[in-house]
Amino acid sequence: MTESSRAVRVRFCPSPTGNLHVGNVRTALFNWAFARHHGGTFVFRVEDTDAARDSEESYQGLLDALRWLGLDWDEGPEVGGDLGPYRQSERMPLYTEVAEKLVAAGYAYYAYDTPEELEQRREAARAEGRSSGYDGLHRDLTDEQRAAYEAEGRKPVVRFRMPDEAIVFTDLVRGEVTFEPEHVSDYVIMRANGQPLYTLTNPVDDATMGITHVLRGEDLLSSTPRQIPLHRALVELGIGEGVVPEYGHLPFVMGPGNRKLSKRDPGGGLADYRDRGFLPEGLLNYLALLGWSIGGDREIFSLQEMAEAFDIGRVNPNPAQFDPKKCEAVNAHHIRDLGVEELAARLVPYLVGAGLLGAEPSEDDLALLAAATPLVSERITVLSEAVDMLAFLFVSEDAFTVDPDDGAKTLTEDGLAVVRSARDALAALDSFDTASIEAALRAALVDGMGLKPRNAFGPVRVAVSGRRISPPLFESIELLGKDRTLGRLERALTA
């Protein structure tokens, strides 16, 4: 079947092993966009069969991550669906049943090789220049041979019997791909202890959930020639929805040193972006650019616009370089596109986390934040940057401090003379609005003292905000208010 002849069903199936990798986020995004573009179904399932690494905390973290990203799923945990359950840990009897059916039908077989025997034969193969994959020694054991091995106490693994022919398929991203049989040997689908491996669970889940298209990372390309024959066997046995998926392998995301980006690299894990204050729409917009283009030179778009335009055939198979600065720049565009009310609401958790707002901010604090938000919207690339910029407005006067380095550079003897003149000019004002504040300070410092604006306003900025970098000075002073402004100027003079 071709892409257009059947209802699209795709899936995102991470393991709950901690901080979600941004490469996995991109995979989820491309699957989501493909499903939405074709009016199909986006299935979210969890591969949680590794008891040593998986955790309930990480499982909940996965759900929270997808909710935060806005990648809504049509079937899966919390949503349900007719082809669940959607956690592999709840599907174990199915894998055992399928393995037994594969063996009974001759598509798989029991192999009793010990690890030592396997390694000896691999070493011999390598020494002779042959493939070191499984040599098929136990492919056709007799009942007597199996009984003899079991009498020794050996427990067999289950291996899938690969066809002795080339595996050829059309990759949705890379075009026709061929794997010769000598490079794809019989592989294990179930351990000797009865534990199913990814090589079995993943295709069985795809088959029984009717997955039509598998879009996944390039690192999994080598497993595809194993999975396609298994899918065909499942179809022959009537297991699942009778679909052999089409595959598309997404390019690597490269990090520092032109190597594959790791979850341990700075910026490799999703939690880093949430903590710093990336908008989900900004991060997803940038990740979409890693291997795909909406068209022309356009780089800024919404999730909905991506879904409308998404074409898997336009994904570039070449590795994509992750650029943190460009990621920030794209995010900054999305911040500036937010309305004042929405941006202020998104800043609240960061100000609460910094202790500048209470867990339930007062109406006065929220009103002050709404008034201050336009002052920083053009100056921040991530939401957390607003904390330092706005701290001077929300900190108590007892807790207000001047950055030592900034104070040493600006509140010199000459700087304090500027502060003194500013205090006197502002104290004389009857109307304390931005225009009046600017006029008074320019008259006193630029005209009166003959200073250039940079030298005139720098000491005032540090005295009232505590930093050399702050939102626009005159607007900031208005928001701070006359009493607090004069108090801070006086404090700088008497420190």
pLDDT digits (tens, 9 = 90+) for 105-125: 999 999 999 999 999 999 999
CATH of domain 338-395: 1.10.8.70
The answer to whether 63 and 46 have CB atoms below 8 angstroms apart is no
Please write the tens of the pLDDT for every residue from 365-416: 999 999 999 999 999 999 999 999 999 999 999 999 999 999 999 999 999 9
Q: Is the pLDDT of residue 2 over 70?
A: no
Three-class DSSP category at 247: strand
One-letter amino acid at 324 equals P
Kindly state the average pLDDT of the residues 256-272.
84
**pLDDT for the residue 276:** 96
Whether the CA torsion 323, 329, 331, 334 is positive or negative: it is negative
Domain coordinates in residue numbering, the chain: 91-250, 338-395, 404-494
**For the domain with range 404-494, which CATH number is right: 1.20.1050.10, 1.10.10.350, 3.30.70.20, 2.30.110.10?**
1.10.10.350
Distance separating alpha carbons of residues 243 and 230, to the nearest angstrom:
11
C-alpha triplet 441, 442, 447: angle, nearest 5°: 125
Fold classification of 91-250 (topology level): Glutamyl-tRNA Synthetase; domain 3 (3.90.800)
C-alpha triplet 409, 414, 417: angle, nearest 5°: 120
Q: How confident is the model at residue 56 (pLDDT cuts 50, 70, 90)?
A: confident
**pLDDT for the residue 52:** 72
Q: Is the pLDDT of residue 18 over 90?
A: no
Q: Is the pLDDT of residue 486 over 80?
A: yes
Please write the tens of the pLDDT for every residue from 323-349: 999 999 999 999 999 999 999 999 999
**pLDDT for the residue 233:** 98
409 is catalytic: no
Q: Is the pLDDT of residue 62 over 70?
A: yes
Q: Output DSSP code: residue 222.
A: G
Q: Phi/psi of residue 138, each to 5°?
A: -100, 20
Q: How confident is the model at residue 3 (pLDDT cuts 50, 70, 90)?
A: very low
Kindly state the average pLDDT of the residues 289-314.
96
Cα 275 to the center of its chain, rounded Å: 12
Catalytic residue selected from 260, 263, 409, 482? 263
Distance separating alpha carbons of residues 122 and 116, to the nearest angstrom:
10
**pLDDT for the residue 65:** 95
**pLDDT for the residue 289:** 97
Q: How confident is the model at residue 5 (pLDDT cuts 50, 70, 90)?
A: low
The answer, yes or no, to whether the previous bond of 472 is cis (omega within 30 of 0) is no
Q: Is the pLDDT of residue 261 over 90?
A: no
Average pLDDT score over the chain: 95
The answer to whether 418 and 449 have CB atoms below 8 angstroms apart is yes
Q: Is the pLDDT of residue 1 over 80?
A: no
